[in-house]
Amino acid sequence: MHDSLISVAMVFFLLMSGYFSGKLSSPKLKNFCVSLISNVVLLLLFCMGIDFGSIFTQRDVGYQIIKSALLFSALIAFFTYIFLYRKRRVTSVKKEELSFFMPFKGCLKAMTAFLLGLAVFKITGVRLEDVHLSSSYVLSILIFLVGIDLVGFKIGRFNLELVAVPIFTIFATLLAVFVFSVFSHLSWRELFVVSSGLGWFSLSGPMVNKLVSPEMGAMAFMTDFFREMFSIMFLYFLGKKQPTGAIGISGAAALDSALPFIRENCEETYISHAIFSGFVLTVLAPFLISFSVTLVG
């Protein structure tokens, strides 16, 4: 409990420090800091590959984690879509301007960085602590930069549908937790920990790894990573017909990595839904992770 409180306090401090630093910075400096986020994420994923190397290099353990994470994230996506399904009038979208493979480039880069970390561990056996490094340091820098990035987001007018997206996204995740626990070797408490990152895989993996175990951290990372993959597919095929459902599946990623694709595939009015939902889930994720960890002792 003490470690969880310290972790969530540190995340909150870094977010707020980044936010107020962004407020006080010049636009040029702020834009430069925000431009670093994608590279810092790749560095963090590389470090996570080394951290989780001892887990994923065990074939049976790694296969079980990947299989469970894939099925669990698919169930989260399904329930989120059902919760946020709406009958609505379809409007035209210039489909010829969209590329199905473009958004997967980011995911491919992320997975490549992670696999490179795994390869370094497998070949050299080196651990981050052996070279006096920690993925927690990189995560701290990332959270600070995310705080700076929050300065530029404006939500606009509130309405019931706007608020419903993050609320139903959380409910859908919790329902998936209880349903999947019936068929999984993991308890609902453990699955709650695994899913509490709400799609923010660069936070959930390292934070759960630190607070619980490398196995749980790896499961949390893969669950949120697969969740983003599903969100990209839903946005491409259903973004214009079911924008709230597609945005909900994106989870916290709707604020950053999924936002450009949301702009391309959803009506303009739903950009505010993505920003609001992503903002709420981004801020809530570290608190939810810390709370869920206390449930597993």
Q: What is the pLDDT of residue 8?
A: 66
Q: What is the pLDDT of residue 58?
A: 81
**How many Å apart are CA 126 and CA 133, to the nearest integer?**
11
* Predicted confidence (pLDDT) per residue in 109-124, tens digit: 778 888 898 899 889 8
Total number of domains constituting the chain: 1
Q: What is the pLDDT of residue 96?
A: 45
Q: What is the pLDDT of residue 194?
A: 95
Contact 25/113 with Cβ under 8 angstroms?
A: no
Closest to 272 in 3D by CA, of 129, 154, 134? 154
Proportion of the chain in helix, strand, coil states, percent, rounded to 5: 80, 0, 20
| Cα angle, residue 28 at apex, residues 27 and 32 outer, rounded to 5° | 115
Residues of the chain with pLDDT under 50: 90, 92-96
Q: Which pTM was predicted? A: 0.81
Q: What is the pLDDT of residue 93?
A: 47
What's the half-sphere exposure (Cβ side, CA atoms, 13 Å) at 213?
8
For residue 287, the one-letter residue type is: F
Which structural domain, as residue segments, surrounds residue 162? Answer: 2-89+96-295
* Predicted confidence (pLDDT) per residue in 8-47, tens digit: 677 778 888 988 999 898 989 999 998 888 888 888 888 8
